[in-house]
Amino acid sequence: MRDSTLLKKSKASGIKVDKAGKGALQVVIYLRVSTRAQITRSGLQQQEKDCRSWLDTYLRDTPYEIVGVFADDGVSGKLDQRDDKALIERLVRAGKVDLAIAQKLDRYGRTARIISNWVREMVDKGTRVVTSDGRIDSDDDLQFKVAMPTLAYLAELEHELIFSRTWSGREWKLQAGGWAGGPPPYGFELLNKGRSGSSIVLCEEEVRTLVMAAHCLIDLELNYSETCEHLNGKRRFTRSGRPWTVGNLTKRLGSEPVLELCVTYRKEGGKTAVGEDGSRKYGEPVKIPMPEVFDAARRAQLRSAMEELSVGSRRANSVYPLSTRIKGDCGEAYTGGGVRDGGMRLYRCRGNTGGCDDVYLHADEVESEVWERLAKFLGDGDVQERVLRTRLRLGAPGLEGKEELFRLFDVQVEVENHRFKKKPGVRCQVTQWHVATKQEVPADVTEEEWAGVRSVLEAVYPPASFTKTKIDLRLALNGMLHRLRTGITWKEIPAEFGPAQRIRERQLSWWQQGAWPLLVTWLNGQRAGTSVYVHPMIPPLRVTVRRAGTLRALSGSRPC
């Protein structure tokens, strides 16, 4: 139930009384539109206006009360269950409705079955059902019994006719190579959207992002993760404003419109409706030609780069050099398998399924740590095997090479702190910026320095931002800097800096408005800062290696 959709109504909305009095007729008004667009075109308002006009005309000598104005907006008439319509049914069953009115019979439903069943149920419960167009009034026994079934059928037929015309127009547009509805693919947009003669064209901003991504993959020979990192670092995000992920990027670059210059409607094997005989209900597949994002040569290069990355990823994801060589606190071994966090390879403890507290380990980080220690050990020792000298001279081998060396030296790894947890939650953009730019975290701001800080912020914010606030901005800034230096969570910020949530919101505002880089640059120009705290990706490790019947532990276990 809602307030009246009409403008400038005083007592005629919601549950308020229009013509109240003792023994007043209890009336409900029902409205419905199928699409959200119809709401903005005054569809609901016109329906309510027509219903109220009927009430004022035919009940002018009868006291009546508007119990409620009920509206289902953006709901298909083919659905039996609708929220506001269900509310009316409850009121009718409770005996609180004497008359139900809608603009037309098809507001109650789009099929003859739905309309007939609903109207007859309301009448059986003692509720008079009318339409403001004058076609149905259940008090007129002859009209109701004779005309209602026919009118219900005609309402369904009218809907089918409208649908047929709409579909014919869409089919004509498809055959002519036009866009038939729905959001355009990434890299494209509709010209003259919502008007006759609209057409699909390139979206310059999104095309620039696709071109940059292709440059990273083809010319710079970056992988998908590195390409996503590059795009996000340049603040070239997805259409929804979110950072790129590997899955999202591969779908956009490898899409049919980008590589095949077309969009196929009613694809084979898709969700297209079929008839009882198995034939396609709405016709055969249609290909819509699309503008060219890349020329033929560049498309061929892009296909080749994506194919190589796909094969390389599958091969790399199947090799885990330290599988079964890492032991957790529970005594079980870690095995390679599973990909999380945007395509990152992982080791998983075998005891994990039985309530073990050991965590997933990031494979690249663990393998790099162990390899560095093994390489240092071999360089310091007297091992002179030809194969080892050759591989060390060439640098770190690939995953297959590391797997062979780890097996040769029987490398074993113990996780020293099995309760280690990587910092949870969404990555802090401010922290990532400090890491990427290598900008130091400034020292705490003194009272003497605050005037300079404020002058920097005033270039972005009006004076009211400094007076209409419930927190001490200087202390809040020091709280932000303290968190960046120590790596604590927002909840762990000491109370001396102020409310943690307000400090967090203020830092987010300074970051989004571009004030944070200006502020950091000015402060670091006054005094030297410190490095931002970066949470380790893996816990401390103890690495042992066997050689010629001996067992030697490799030093350098990193603190967490």
pLDDT per position as a tens digit, 231-240: 988 888 998 8
The average pLDDT across 461-476 equals: 84
Per the model's pLDDT, the better-predicted residue between 96 and 156 turns out to be 96
Point out which residues pair with 109 in neighbouring strands: none
How many residues appear in the chain? 560
Does the pLDDT value for residue 350 go beyond 80? Answer: no
Tell me the backbone φ, ψ of residue 338, rounded to 5 degrees: 90, 145
| Cα–chain center distance at 451 | 41
CATH of domain 188-272+279-314: 3.90.1750.20
Q: Give the model confidence (pLDDT) of 376-385 as tens digits.
A: 776 655 544 4
Q: How far apart are CA 91 and CA 95, in angstroms?
A: 6
Region of residue 134 (left: phi > 0; alpha: psi -120 to 50; beta: else)? left
Task: Give the count of alpha carbons within 13 A of 435, CB side only.
Answer: 13
| Cα–chain center distance at 32 | 30
Coil, strand or helix at 111: coil
Q: Are 126 and 95 in contact (CB under 8 A)?
A: yes
Does the pLDDT value for residue 207 go beyond 90? Answer: yes
Q: Which segments of the chain belong to CATH 3.90.1750.20?
A: 188-272+279-314
The average pLDDT across 296-309 equals: 88
The average pLDDT across 311-338 equals: 74
Weakest mean pLDDT among 107-111, 114-118, 361-365: 107-111
Q: Give the model confidence (pLDDT) of 359-369 as tens digits.
A: 678 888 888 88
Rg (CA), the chain: 35
Q: Give the model confidence (pLDDT) of 76-87 as tens digits.
A: 444 445 677 888
Q: How far apart are CA 189 and CA 204, in angstroms?
A: 9
Q: Which segments of the chain belong to CATH 3.40.50.1390?
A: 25-160
Confidence class for position 483, pLDDT limits 50, 70, 90: very high
CATH of domain 25-160: 3.40.50.1390
Which pLDDT belongs to residue 507?
A: 92
Helix (H) or strand (E) holding 414: strand 412-415
401: exposed, middle or buried (Cβ count in 10 Å: 0-12, 13-18, 19+): middle
Q: Give the model confidence (pLDDT) of 491-520 as tens digits.
A: 889 999 999 988 998 999 899 888 899 999
Confidence class for position 386, pLDDT limits 50, 70, 90: very low
**Tokens 């049919």 label which residue?**
256
Which pLDDT belongs to residue 444?
A: 93
The average pLDDT across 215-223 equals: 87
Point out which residues pair with 551 in neighbouring strands: 546
Average pLDDT, the chain: 76
Which pLDDT belongs to residue 484?
A: 93
Does the pLDDT value for residue 434 go beyond 60? Answer: yes
State percent of the chain over pLDDT 90.
Answer: 16
